[in-house]
């Protein structure tokens, strides 16, 4: 049975956005697994997503304080439908990212990360898929806010889609 995935990062609620957009809550409700690559900012958002998500996998980011760091790991690993996922908030500068990821995550098939608010979809020299969903609340220099959806199905990651967040 295919597993519907939602990839989020850099929500920064309530600092960059007062609340999570309704479109994102709908995506959380529809996903079988929600990944959040850090910069939640408050435990309230973590609690709310935990309550609504069928399954939540999260890490803390550089803007997350001690309370979130006590509850979340720096790196998370999970196997879903035969795919080995790793997730971390920061991967460093864009130049050389794929090679560094190969060295840092040799046992992963997919690396999810955040921090830059810039969507990223690339494959490393060793075949590691690197995905950054951007931010659903703080577009920075991007034209729109974004998140990613995908499907894990029998060892294959498919239908990876960058979803723009509609303005309210």
**Does residue 168 carry a pLDDT above 70?**
no
What is residue 66's predicted lDDT score, i.e. its pLDDT? 97
pLDDT attached to residue 14? 79
Q: 29 or 18: which carries more pLDDT confidence?
A: 29
pLDDT of residue 16: 72
Report pLDDT digits (tens) over 131-140.
999 999 998 8
Mind listing the domains of the chain with CATH numbers? 3-164 (3.60.21.10)
Put the strands of the sheet holding 146-153 in their side by side order. 56-58, 33-36, 3-8, 146-153, 156-164
- Taking residues 158-165, report their average pLDDT: 97
Average pLDDT on 108-116 reads: 97
pLDDT above 90 covers a percentage of the chain that reads: 89
As a whole number, the mean pLDDT across the chain is 95
Residue-wise pLDDT for 61-91, tens only, equals 999 999 999 999 999 999 999 999 999 999 9
pTM: 0.96
Residues with Cβ within 8 Å of 119's Cβ and at least 6 positions away in sequence, in order, are: 132, 133, 134, 142, 146, 148, 162
């Amino acid at each position: 049975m295919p597993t519907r995935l939602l990839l989020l990062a850099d929500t920064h609620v309530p600092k960059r956005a007062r609340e999570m957009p309704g479109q994102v809550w709908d995506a959380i409700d529809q996903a079988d697994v929600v990944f959040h690559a850090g910069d939640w900012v408050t435990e309230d958002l973590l609690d709310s997503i935990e309550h609504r998500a069928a399954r939540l996998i999260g890490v803390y980011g550089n803007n997350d304080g001690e309370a979130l760091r006590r509850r979340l790991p720096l790196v998370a690993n999970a196997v879903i439908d035969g795919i080995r996922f790793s997730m971390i908030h920061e991967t460093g500068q864009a130049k050389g990212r794929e090679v560094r990821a190969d060295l840092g995550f040799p046992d992963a098939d997919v690396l999810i990360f955040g921090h830059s608010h810039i969507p990223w979809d690339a494959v490393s020299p060793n075949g590691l898929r690197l995905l950054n969903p951007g931010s659903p609340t703080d577009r920075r220099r991007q034209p729109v806010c974004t998140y990613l959806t995908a499907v894990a199905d029998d060892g294959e990651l498919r239908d990876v889609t960058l979803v723009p967040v509609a303005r309210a």
